[in-house]
Chain A
Amino acid sequence: MSVTAAPSWSRARQEPGWLARVFDSKPFLIVACLFPAVGLLMVFLTYPLGLGIWLAFTDTRIGRSGQWVGLENFEYLMGDPTFWTAVFYSVFYTAVATVGKFALGLWLALLLNNHLPFKSLIRAIILLPWIVPTVLSAIAFWWIYDPQFSIISYVFVDVLGLRDRYFDFLGSAWPARFSLIAANIWRGIPFVAICLLAGLQTISPSLYEAALLDGATPWQRFTRITVPLLMPILAIVMTFSIIFTFTDFQLVYAITRGGPVNSTHLMATLAFQRGIAGQELAEGAAIAVAMIPFLVFATLFSYFALARRKWQQGESND
């Protein structure tokens, strides 16, 4: 019996067409799939940012394209007291408002984490300041702080009779600054409270019971269990809150427009004031660019504070 060559059962593979080859090649796929996302980012994020930075180094005015002037805008700002007031107030505003928001927000979250009657209704109400458009609540605060029609003055003077003169909330520098911070805290509390409440609810109640059996006091349960377990989410929320507060514009612009005498300008409102209202586009851009180091610092803070703590590492193992 002669040995014959084993017959080849598989049909000869057809060479794939060029289209199929293109769609099979990895480099092409990478480019094709990334293009839409990268394109959108370039057009809507990178281009305006790049343009803003470029403008900061020119002498552009509205209606007149400018020339490259190097650091001239920044040199001018260095000697501008209004700019330094805005830098100071931006930092002060962010610091005080963040402390206020987190103290009150955490307190509120702890309250809401208990069993309360009408819990879900209260949670819904708490979100209201955050849902209302900022400009709307800014206008409401504008009325609340009005020298003649302020409800607070009305209550203190006409109802309770505790004072004989109306408050002058917005008429001088420091009262105006604190009034704006109060408005910002009011607006920011819901975000902080709801985020921290979500964090609190991830902590297993049995941890508190275990501590209770060992005789931990309520304060010890708060400092030994709640705070360390809340740290990861606290760091995230705080980073976001700092960035939102530092770049705030609407509240200040709607209530005081930076006055009285530029004392309540934030860097963002001053940038708008100089760049758009004052037509010095390049100078406004320079102020905006000066905000970048502060924001980079806040982001770095988050990066290091959010770095996974040692106890979070390792697989959870059941």
Chain B
Amino acid sequence: MATVSLRGLTKRYGAAVAVAGVDLAIAESEMVALVGPSGCGKTTVLRMIAGLIEPDAGQVLIGGADVTRAPAHKRNLGLVFQSYALFPHLSVFENVAFGLRRRRVPEAEIGRRVSQALALVRLEGFEGRFPRQLSGGQQQRVALARAVVTEPRVLLLDEPLSNLDAGLRDAMRVELRRLQQSLGITTIFVTHDQEEALTLADRVAVMRAGRIEQVGAPQEVYERPANAFVAGFVGRTNLLDAVVVGAADALLHLSGPGGVPLVVRGAAPPGARVRLALRHEKLRLGDAPPDAANVHLAEVALAAFAGAQCQYLLRLPGGLELQAEAPSNAVFPRGAQVTAWWTADDMILLPAETADA
């Protein structure tokens, strides 16, 4: 197992910058998720680590050694492609054995290690099948077995779960985590699904347009997003623009859209324009406790039942629309008048940001 560290990694395609100076340090046996919207450069970063494309600038260090110019097969990495890239003409056994054969491992040991790897992904008995005769989830597990059978120092996964249907995805998420922890292998995986990143990774790196916007533990990124983009991308969030009108007891009083009064914990000079993030589930409906700093009467503009949760679109008197998510033990119908409330700590004061947000 080894550490991975990326320093100023950059890749351009013509005038377009796919990856613009990515810095990231990954500890031994850590599982890190690169998450971001489609086209933000996640795959490009992963392929530069794997050595399939050469960066225009920056370095890739594995186990402390600079491998930026090392050929892919000298890096000793395992990669699971988004399309799995199984060899269609080889059996499951031969697919997994492919890397061992290229490394001239003796035949007896190949047999032993392949069955070990297939046992790890729970595919014993499938040795003789061809990829076409497997389901999507089984193909994915063959790809995983093929990636780990050579005992790589680092495991790279490109959108490992996005080709699976919802039920299978949840099951494979657990499998993947179990596999990573039992092998203790340093793992970097790419996903556009923020929920997947939060549930699976030790740390999450949120990317946008070739840059890393924030790196941190899932909880940290969720509760203290570094900027409006991260707040909007991770979790379901209302973003509000507001102007500071006054401060007292470490609380800011603000005037939100439509003149709605808001209270948030934080500091900013009066008159400053700020952005606020309010998670859907932090906005609560029903009788407000005395410590709720923000209490508003709202009309239910839309209500959608989603199993354990209900999703609402609320319209505040000033015309401000907020989305909320509440347990569905009390369902408010469309048109109902409800009390919406949240505390000064439920809302996040986002740092001042450049114009592009």
A→B interface (CB under 8 Å): 204, 206-207, 209-216, 220, 224-225, 228-229, 309-318
Contacts and interface: CB of A to CB of B under 8 A. Distances in A.
Nearest to A203: B88
A84 B52 CA distance: 58
Contacts of B88: 229, 311-312
Interface stretch (B14-22, B96-104, B259-267, B295-303): B96-104
Given A317-B135, A318-B163, A311 B73 contact: no
B73 A214 contact: yes
B81 A209 contact: yes
Nearest to A225: B87
Interface in B78-103: 78-79, 81, 83, 85, 87-91, 98-99, 102-103
Given A204-B85, A228-B89, A309-B89, A213 B73 contact: yes
Contacts of B87: 207, 210, 224-225
B132 A209 contact: no
B336 to A, nearest CB: 44
B227 interface: no
A213 B72 CA distance: 5
Contacts of A229: 88-89
Interface string B95-139: 000110011000000000000000000000000001111111001
Given A206-B81, A210-B79, A311-B88, A316 B102 contact: no
A212 B72 CA distance: 7
Interface string B25-60: 000000000000000000000000011100000000
B133 A314 contact: yes
B132 A215 contact: no
Interface of B: 50-52, 72-73, 77-79, 81, 83, 85, 87-91, 98-99, 102-103, 130-136, 139, 146, 150, 163
B150 A207 contact: no
Contacts of A225: 87
Contacts of A207: 85, 87
- Among A213, A215, A224, A312, chain B packs the most CB atoms within 10 A around the CB of A213
Given A209-B52, A310-B130, A313-B133, A214 B85 contact: no
Contacts of A206: 81, 83, 85
Which 10 residue pairs across A and B have the least CB separation, nearest first? A215-B73, A214-B99, A206-B85, A314-B133, A314-B132, A311-B130, A210-B85, A228-B89, A311-B89, A214-B102
Contact of B136 (A210, A224, A318): A318
Contact of B130 (A211, A314, A318): A314
Nearest to B91: A311
A317 B164 CA distance: 11
A310 B130 CA distance: 8
Nearest to A318: B136
Nearest to A229: B89
A316 B77 CA distance: 28
22 contacts: A204-B85, A206-B83, A206-B85, A209-B85, A210-B79, A210-B81, A210-B98, A213-B50, A213-B72, A213-B78, A215-B73, A215-B103, A216-B73, A216-B98, A220-B102, A224-B98, A225-B87, A311-B89, A311-B90, A314-B132, A317-B133, A317-B134
